[in-house]
Amino acid sequence: MNSDSDLQIAGDLLEVQHLLRPAREHPATVAEFVGLARAIAADRSQWAPLVQYDATTRWYHRLRQGPGYEVWLLSWVPGQGSGLHDHGPSSGVLTVLDGELTERTDRGKRTLGASAQRVFAPGYLHEVVNASLEPAVSLHVYYPGLTDMPMHTAQCATATATATATATA
C-alpha cells in the first residue's frame, strides 16, 4: 500500500461489481459500433462460412440487427465497386475483413487492407472498389439501419467538393 495516501479500501475489491455499470446489450456510441465491428471481424466463425462470391454483382447478407442498427457482410470480386453514393441519414463503420478495397472520395483515394476501418457520418460521399486481383470481404455497420443509399455522378461529387471548399473559405 502507498504510505503517501490516506485512502484505504476495506474488504474484497472484487465485491464492488454493484458499483459498475452493466455492459450494454447493444452498442449506442460510435466507439461501441467500432468495437462491435472489431469483435465480429476477430471471430471468423461468425462470418467466414456465410461468404459467397458472385461474379455479376456484389453479394451481401444482413448478419445482425439490433435496435436501430444493422450489420451487413459483403463480398467483392476483383473489379466490383459500389458506385459513388452516400448512406442517407445513416452513419456507419466499414471494416475490411479479407483482401483489399479502395475507397475514393473528393479528397482522393486510399487503400484499405484487412482490419482497416472507416467511420463515416450521414451524407458521407464515397465509392468503394475492389481494385486488387483477389476477392475481398467487408463488414458494414449502419446506424440507423440503412434505408437509403443515393447514387451520385462524378459531376455531383465535384460540385459538392467545390461548395464545401467555398463554404469553408
Domains along the sequence of the chain with CATH: 25-168 (2.60.120.10)
CB within 8 A of 152, min separation 6: which ones?
A: 84, 85, 86, 125, 160
| Segment 23-41 mean pLDDT | 91
Percent of the chain residues topping a pLDDT of 70: 79
Element (H, E) at 47: helix 44-47
**Local confidence band at 166 (pLDDT 50, 70, 90 cut-offs):** very low
Per-residue pLDDT at 160 exceeds 80: no
What separation in angstroms does the CA of 126 have from each of 39, 51, 83, 87, 153? 25, 24, 8, 9, 11
Per-residue pLDDT at 153: 86
| Segment 19-24 mean pLDDT | 70
Q: What is the four-CA torsion angle of 105, 124, 119, 114, rounded to 10 degrees?
A: -40
Say what the pTM is. 0.78
* Phi, psi torsion values for 22, nearest 5 degrees: -70, 150
Residues 118, 88: Cα–Cα separation, whole Å: 17
Per-residue pLDDT at 50 exceeds 90: yes
The tens digit of pLDDT for each residue in 74-126 reads 999 999 999 999 999 999 999 999 999 999 999 999 999 999 999 999 999 99
Per-residue pLDDT at 3 exceeds 70: no
Per-residue pLDDT at 25: 84
CB atoms within 10 A of CB 12: 7
Please give the grid coordinates belonging to residue 27. 452498442
